[in-house]
Structure 1
Amino acid sequence: MRIILLGPPGVGKGTYARFISEKYNLINISIGDIIRNFLLNNKNLLLTNKLNKFIHKGVMIPDDIIFNIVKTKLFNINYNKGFLLDGFPRNILQAHILKKEKININIILELYIPNTEIIQRIIGRRIHLPSGRIYHTILNPPKIKDRDDITGEKLITRTDDNIIIINNRLKEYSKQTKPLIKYYKKEFLKNKILYKKIYNTLPIVDVQKQIDNILQSFKIKKI
């Protein structure tokens, strides 16, 4: 299975990417995690400052910068083992790059919740930065407040998780990524891929069951 998770910021892509990759033993390529790790370890202050400006404004990082950061990870994996892409592609140009590199996708899962709920979810989001584990103060709270369940280390709130930046990111998503959804739906109508829209308004366990049913059906069909 070669999967792309689509959906606006805060819709839950990271949570379900982890579930899918662990259950189906897929390589989980999170562009957000790659960028955050790059910012932590990169010594090029000019580039770091440039990236932080885009992030703090809530606008998408330009394609050329994204490609330079993710290409080593993205274009040097064993695709025969299957993989999951979270946060890439984000526009049609990036989808064309995948096709040009012969990185063929066969499943698109689009996660959806209303924008008002997205804002509530992002405001309550807490992250364990070293592992990328995601919690929520109401929907998925840690066992101990503000502490990671496994390591006990302190959870953080991302600097871009505030109302102004969230609204900017949602506008960017509507402008850049919604055309990408139309692009992949056309691929689905041509019977080239499986495309499923999942309404992520139910409890996490119920959404996991939906996803599991979709992927199990895909495996049976392929067999």
Structure 2
Amino acid sequence: MKLILLGPPGAGKGTQAQRLVEKFGIVQLSTGDMLRAAVKAGTEIGLKAKAVMDAGQLVSDEIVVGIVADRIEAPDCAKGFILDGFPRTVPQAEALTRMLAEKGLKLDAVIELKVDEDALVSRMENRVRETIAAGGQARADDNPEAFRKRLVEYREKTAPLSGYYASTGELKVLDGMQPIDTVTAEIEKILGA
């Protein structure tokens, strides 16, 4: 099972990914984690990434796709994976599609959680209040202004992935504002579970 979960920050992708990991025994792959692991392991692609990052530059799509390509060959990905934080742009999605095709693989589904952005801001504000009330500390970017900037960036760069994956026939859209268990049940229905 090879999946991508799409949706803006706060849509519930992380919660749903964890449930899928537990139910199906697949792996959630974070590009940030994979990048750090490749650098630490000193793989060929990791060394390229390190050189770019040491120069203070952003890692190219080519390097990120290379890291994903290496990572999905690992034994723990045999049952499948959920890509987390990748692709973020249409060119990355196109590169991912080519890389998977070269390996004789394809995505089983791209599931987009549609949500109301104003409700997301309210959700984030509630989460911050609850975290602080419980004695915890809120993330530095958990404030309405920073969160709205993240939403704008998502709309500009990542939201176009919906059109790309709709054109490939892989996109399935769900109402992410439903209760968590309802969203989980709908995802499982899409996956034929």
TM-score interval (norm. to shorter): 0.7 to 0.9
Residue of structure 2 equivalent to 1:77: 74
Q: Which residue in the other structure is 2:93 paired with?
A: 95
Q: Provide the C-alpha distance between the structure 2 equivalents of 1:159 and 1:65, rounded to a whole number of angstroms.
A: 28
Deviations 1:56-99 (A, max 9, x none): xxxxxx55289459826745435542111122111111112212
Determine the structure 2 residue equivalent to 1:184: 165
**SS of residue matched to 2:3:** strand
Alpha-carbon distance between aligned partners in 2 of 1:106 and 1:210, rounded to the nearest angstrom: 15
* Structure 2 equivalent of residue 199 of structure 1: 175
Answer yes or no: is the 8 Å Cα contact 1:113–1:199 preserved in 2: yes
- TM-score w.r.t. the length of structure 1 is 0.64
The partner residue of 1:145 within 126, 129, 134 is 134
Alignment CA distance shift 1:63-1:167 (3 Å): farther
- The answer to whether the Cα contact below 8 Å between 2:65 and 2:96 also exists between their aligned partners in 1 is no
Give runs of aligned pairs for residues 1-223 of structure 1, distance below 5 A.
1-31=1-31, 34=33, 47=53, 62=58, 64=60, 67=63, 71=67, 74-78=71-75, 79-102=77-100, 104-125=106-127, 137=130, 145-146=134-135, 155-188=136-169, 193=170, 195-215=171-191, 217=192
Residue type of the alignment partner of 2:16 = Y
User: Residue 10 of structure 1 aligns to a residue in which SS?
Assistant: coil
Equivalent pair of 1:35/1:69 in contact (CA under 8 Å): no
Q: Provide the secondary structure at the position in 2 that maps to 1:101.
A: helix
Aligned residue pairs total 174
Distance 1:109 1:173 in 2: 16
Does structure 1 retain, via aligned residues, the 8 Å contact 2:28–2:81?
yes
Contact 1:5–1:84 (Cα < 8 Å) also in 2: yes
* Structure 2 gap ranges (5+): 41-49
Tell me: CA distance 1:93–1:214, structure 2 relative to 1, closer, same or farther (3 Å). same
Which AA in structure 1 matches 2:107?
Answer: I
State the Cα deviation string for residues 10-65 of structure 1 (Å, max 9, x = none): 11100000001110111111346x28978xx9xx9x959x69xxxxxxxxxx5528
**CA separation of 1:69 and 1:187: change in aligned 2, threshold 3 A:** closer
The 1:74–1:161 alpha-carbon spacing in structure 2 relative to 1, beyond 3 Å, is: farther
TM-aligned CA distance change 1:65 to 1:187, over 3 Å:
closer
What amino acid does structure 2 have at the position aligned with 1:209?
Answer: A
Identity %: 31
Alignment partners' CA distance in 2, 1:116 and 1:211? 24
Q: Which has the higher helix share?
A: 2
Report if the CA contact (8 A) 2:11-2:115 is conserved. yes
Tell me the CA shift for residue 209 of structure 1.
1.6
Is residue 5–residue 84 contact of structure 2 (8 Å, CA) maintained in 1? Answer: yes
